[in-house]
């Protein structure tokens, strides 16, 4: 399908070169179609860029939705903590998947220099995931929604993202050429320990302030 090929190639091109640097002529040629296809389907380069953001958001939603399958009742910290581990574990799996490299490049560009495409990304699965994580953190730590809860949520989120966004540094620090299954499990275990420690600290802080 022409649109599928265009979007796959566009995500890669925009991720590597950005909106300004990517060539629609090269994107069309790589997709085996004419430049007029981009104009017809997306209205031009900017439209294709926004469509690429929508495409990433759709794929993120499809791959992450199983992690949100379990509902957590307010006042159930055990279930909330397991939900957090589930979400972070699913996110780690995606960060270790080489297929998300192109998504990551695109998303990191939007994080550094947001355009209209950022809203397409954040208002989709990314924002939904973060908002649910905030709720899970509050329930898991037995606290109200607050700045502290949101900062903690971003800290939890960041410890997983670093595996992809700072991949070269991670490999250098770990002194490995790649992250194999055994190392991935050790990273997963450490993230779980860190997560519980952060939640325990939030709970303790809340008790001290009462």
Interacting residues of 187 by C-beta distance below 8 A, sequence separation 6+: 92, 163, 179
Higher pLDDT, 192 or 2: 192
Q: Looking at residue 110, which CATH number applies to its domain?
A: 1.10.357.10
Average pLDDT of 60-73? 77
- DSSP secondary structure string for all residues of the chain: -HHHHHHHHHHHHHHHHHHHH--HHHHHHHTTS-HHHHHHHHSSHHHHHHHHHHHHHHHHHHHHGGGG-S---TT-HHHHHHHHHHHHHHHHHHHH-GGGHHHHHHHHHHHHS--HHHHHHIIIIIHHHHHHHHHHHHHHHT--S-HHHHHHHHHHHHHHHHHHHTHHHHHHHHT-SS--HHHHHHHHHHHHHHHHHHHHHHHHHHHHH-
Interacting residues of 56 by C-beta distance below 8 A, sequence separation 6+: 11, 103, 106, 107, 121
Number of domains the chain contains: 1
What pLDDT was estimated at residue 129? 86
User: Per residue in 148-198, pLDDT tens?
Assistant: 999 999 999 999 999 998 999 999 999 999 999 999 999 999 999 999 999
CA dist., res. 151 & res. 154, Å (int):
5
Output the pTM of the full model. Answer: 0.86
181 domain-assigned? yes
The overall average pLDDT reported for the chain is 91
Average pLDDT of 21-38? 91
- pLDDT at residue 64 is higher than 90: no
Nearest Cα to 191, choosing from 183, 69, 107? 183
User: Per residue in 107-135, pLDDT tens?
Assistant: 999 999 999 999 999 988 888 889 989 99
112 domain-assigned? yes
183 domain-assigned? yes
202 domain-assigned? yes
Nearest Cα to 194, choosing from 83, 88, 68, 96? 88
Domain that includes residue 110, residue range: 57-209
Interacting residues of 152 by C-beta distance below 8 A, sequence separation 6+: 137, 141, 198, 199, 202
What pLDDT was estimated at residue 162? 94
b (16+ CB within 10 A) / e for 139-156: bbbebeeeebbbebbeeb
15 domain-assigned? no
98 domain-assigned? yes
25 domain-assigned? no
23 domain-assigned? no
Nearest Cα to 123, choosing from 54, 190, 21? 54
């Amino acid at each position: 399908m022409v649109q599928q090929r265009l979007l796959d190639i566009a995500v890669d091109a925009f991720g590597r070169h950005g909106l300004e640097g990517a060539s629609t002529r090269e994107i069309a040629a790589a997709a085996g179609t004419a430049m007029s296809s981009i104009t017809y389907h997306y209205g031009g380069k900017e439209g294709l860029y926004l469509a690429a953001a929508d495409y990433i958001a759709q794929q993120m939603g499809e791959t992450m939705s199983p992690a949100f399958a379990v509902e957590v009742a307010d006042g159930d910290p055990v279930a909330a903590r397991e939900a957090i581990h589930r979400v972070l574990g699913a996110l780690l799996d995606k960060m270790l998947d080489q297929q998300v490299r192109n998504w990551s490049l695109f998303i990191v560009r939007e994080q550094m220099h947001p355009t209209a495409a950022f809203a397409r990304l954040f208002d989709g699965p990314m924002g939904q995931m973060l908002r649910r994580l905030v709720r899970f953190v509050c329930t898991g730590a037995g606290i109200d929604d607050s700045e502290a809860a949101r900062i903690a949520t971003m800290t939890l989120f960041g410890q997983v993202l670093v595996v992809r966004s700072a991949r070269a540094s991670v490999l250098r620090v770990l002194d490995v050429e790649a992250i194999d299954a055994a190392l991935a499990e050790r990273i997963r275990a450490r993230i779980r320990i860190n997560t519980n420690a952060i939640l325990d600290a939030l709970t303790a802080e809340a008790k001290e302030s009462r």
